[in-house]
Structure 1
Amino acid sequence: MNTPKPVPSRPYAWVSTIAIVWGGELFSVLTSSIVQMGLIWHIAAQGGSAGTITLASMAGFLPLALIGPFAGVIVDRHPITATLIGSDLFIAAISLVVAMAALLGHAPVWLIMASLFLRAIGSSLHTPAFNALTPMVAPAEQLGRLSGIAQCVQSLGYIAGYAMAAVLYPIFGLGVMALIDVVGALVASLAVWMTRLTTYVRPVSTTATDSEGLSVAVGRMLSETRDGFRVLRADSGLFALLICGFAFSLVISPVSALFPVMCLDHFNSGTSGAATAEVAFSAGMLVSSLVIGATGGFRRRVVSVELATVTYGVATLIAGSAAPSMFPAFLASAVVMGFSSPLYSAPQIALIQERIAPEYLGRVFGLYGSLMAWALPLGTAVSSLFVDSVGATVWFMGSGVAILALAVTMVLIPSIRAIDDGDRHA
């Protein structure tokens, strides 16, 4: 079913709406990055082992992986603005509890673990709602450009947040960092509230009612999740592309995790070299996001995805082939890998926004987020079984070959080749 967008009271009113919401989002991503690093460093400062820190990382991803599809049902049932504000305020409440505990001098590891898990629940609602909001406000022809700008906003927030966290934690500690995050969530909520947006809400008759029992409500939620999957599966090109996207993420996640190993063990560049490589990758991402935001990217989304896959594969292969004396070549490869990432992910998000009807966007983005969230632990787990025996350089080269093979596979799938020619929901 096609649902018209709210009619703006003046031309280009959507620009100011997007600017206000994304301005709040930039501030929220910045403060969330600050406290996220603070939480991990606090665990390390409390004597947490590598296993404990790994568990903390798992706590931050499990909600998105496990409840992402069901969170999408909630997004589709309720006004997106209410979901965005509600999830931000929920995260703010968690940060406030952590701040109070830290300022009182009692923030045990179990509390930090619980806060990471609960914050991730809030994010599992916020992320699909945020992605579903844009196509309900902006014209379809602007979605590619806006997807690039969104990635730029997030990249800026992450880069600046991590840098600020390194300064704030030694001076002020976790308590102040958590309070900053409370302010960030409140700013983001205020930004959404200021827009007074009216977005699509499914008819009440299709949602659960208060009179239904728990089993009926759960059954209805499962049924609505399946509806979202059926809508996604019905678009053969988009479905195939997302499966390929999962395979792509599965391969590149261990590569990203092995950056420090390559820098420290193969190139002997020390921790400064490892930090430089991460900055190089982030810089590539930021430049790519800016280019997509400025130009809208390739007119045919599939060209962008294919180019990104080939480029990432070649760069990974070169990085693994570089001799210990060729650290600059590794840094150049890191820039190219970073540049390729938005070229791949931004068109994927734009295609979902263009091709999925508004009443299913939350569920489809929930499924998409859950699928991609599983790629990180699965890819890292597989690599951990073999990387010690084959070495990081061989793993890099093998990953490069695998990515190039994936690029060939995508070319051979007719529905992916024709994805830009298919009908859109509106």
Structure 2
Amino acid sequence: MNTVEYKLKENWFKNIILFLSSQTISLFGSAVIQYALMWHITLMTESGKMMTLYIICGFIPTFLLSPVAGVWADRYNRKMLIILADGMIAIATLILAILFLMGYDAIWLLFVMAAVRAFGTGIQTPAVGAILPQIVPKDKLTKVNGANGSIQAVIMFVSPMVSAALLGLTSIEVIFFMDVITAAIAIFTLLVFLKVPLHEKATEKQTTSYFSDFKQGLQYVNNHSFLKEFFLFFAVFFVLMAPAAFLTPLQVTRSFGGGEWKLAAIECAFSIGMMVGGVIIGTWGGFENKIKTLGFASLIMGICTVALGIVPVFWIYLSFMALFGVAMPIFNTPANVLLQEKVEDDYLGRVFGVMGMISTSMMPIGMLIFGPIADFIKIEWLLLGTGIFTIILAIFLWQNKTLIEAGKPLLKEV
């Protein structure tokens, strides 16, 4: 470890506060405008097709860019990639705000905006995942990832309310400008106050093509059996989670009725659960073996999915939705930390890129399977079936010797 890296790790608490603060500000502005765009399209068009198109524009660029962005995160300065992504989104939002003020408010501009934001997210996600081990000592990664999960949960809870209030009080253009300001503050914080040395690969002259680097990343995954089995588990898990993630609002409308407040209630219950889960994993740290923690959280989510399919009382339904939220950070945190600890730094961006491809593609694939079926089979039956399979998947995870071995804690440095 060189002198700069040593000082960075010595001041890790100050640095992570700066980093998470900048990301919180940026994410809050993005979340507010995300809801504002979605609701604006809903109010302007009242079209399910338009909403579907907006959602597609919001995830396909991330999926397509993830492999390239993973290579970038390994080749280049990760901090500057995060700044570049935030800056690109801010400039696009500023242009959109000016166009709207000039009277050019065609709906297709919002679809373009959704695609640009997804493009920026595709660049940013692997860079953020890969930069944390440069800032934080490995034995603190679980606490930091847990804290980050809690912050994201708070934003998920607050941003819809803020967005709704702003839409009622002001125009969509003002919300656009607010997003530009939050991005500018985040960029300034990272650029001026946070010093992160280049990782080793970024200091070398790049002699290989992007495709060659991506291929090397896939070979790295293929040569490490725990990564192959880890990603296979994630792919199956995300497909099984699709009904719980996307069909529960439709289920509540069909089975419980009651209008918008019940839909808002399930979002709030899930977000509050995520806040609690982030605190739990941040203070507890999980089992010594991260795979056991991952399996435990998977089991809870499987049980909750089954419960969502059978409980007849809405308040009990809300309780299980909150418990589902509690399990999410307990699932996500050890998954991220496992990669951050076990994957070589030079390949970390590409491995997170592969994970990004899986996370952005498997749930939509799940919806292509379960969405049409939901018009012919009760959603309760889909939740019951996918919940049972998730429980079985969690049991298989606990029995997987390769992953259990990979999940063991690192030996502490003397």
**Do both proteins adopt the same fold according to a TM-score greater than 0.5, normalized to the shorter chain?**
yes
Deviations 1:80-121 (A, max 9, x none): 111111111111101101111222232211111111101111
Deviations 1:327-382 (A, max 9, x none): 12211110111111111111110011001111111111111111110012111111
CA contact (8 A) 1:6 1:137 kept: no
Residue aligning to 1:358: 345
Structure-1 separation of matches of 2:211 and 2:409? 29
Q: 1:5 to 1:87 in 2, by over 3 A?
A: farther
Structure-2 separation of matches of 1:125 and 1:171? 33
Structure-2 separation of matches of 1:14 and 1:204? 22
Structure-2 separation of matches of 1:408 and 1:106? 55
* Structure 1 position 203, deviation (Å): 5.5
Structure-1 separation of matches of 2:115 and 2:331? 28
* Structure 1 position 125, deviation (Å): 0.8
Residue aligning to 1:285: 274
Task: Choose which of 68, 72, 96 in structure 1 pairs with 2:94.
Answer: 96
Structure-2 separation of matches of 1:4 and 1:246? 38
Deviations 1:23-76 (A, max 9, x none): 011111110011111112222233252111111111111111111011111121
Structure-2 separation of matches of 1:5 and 1:49? 58
* Structure 1 position 5, deviation (Å): 8.5
Task: Choose which of 268, 286, 290 in structure 2 pairs with 1:301.
Answer: 290
Say yes or no: does 1:338 pair with 2:336.
no
Structure-2 separation of matches of 1:421 and 1:333? 30
CA contact (8 A) 1:78 1:201 kept: no
Task: Choose which of 203, 206, 213 in structure 2 pairs with 1:224.
Answer: 213
Residue aligning to 1:421: 408
Residue aligning to 1:200: 199
Structure-2 separation of matches of 1:203 and 1:381? 39
* Structure 1 position 168, deviation (Å): 0.5
Residue aligning to 2:77: 79
* Structure 1 position 423, deviation (Å): 7.0
What SS does structure 1 have at the residue aligned with 2:175?
Answer: helix
Task: Choose which of 60, 63, 66 in structure 1 pairs with 2:61.
Answer: 63
CA contact (8 A) 1:282 1:335 kept: yes
Match runs of 1:8-407 below 5 Å: 8-9=6-7, 12-47=10-45, 49-193=47-191, 194-202=193-201, 207=206, 220-323=209-312, 326-407=313-394
Structure-2 separation of matches of 1:155 and 1:51? 29
Read off the aligned partner of 2:243 and give its amino acid letter.
P
CA contact (8 A) 2:78 2:131 kept: yes
CA contact (8 A) 1:318 1:397 kept: yes
Choose 172-181 or 199-208, whichever is displaced more: 199-208
Residue aligning to 1:211: none
* Structure 1 position 206, deviation (Å): 5.0
Choose 275-284 or 155-164, whichever is displaced more: 155-164
Structure-1 separation of matches of 2:309 and 2:98? 47
CA RMSD of the aligned region, Å? Answer: 2.1
Task: With the length of structure 1 as denominator, give the TM-score of the two structures.
Answer: 0.92
Segments of 4+ in structure 1 off by > 4 A?
Answer: 203-206
Structure-1 separation of matches of 2:371 and 2:212? 37
Q: Gapped runs of 5+ residues in structure 2?
A: none
Q: Gapped runs of 5+ residues in structure 1?
A: 209-216
Structure-1 separation of matches of 2:187 and 2:203? 25
* Structure 1 position 295, deviation (Å): 2.9
Number of residue equivalences: 412
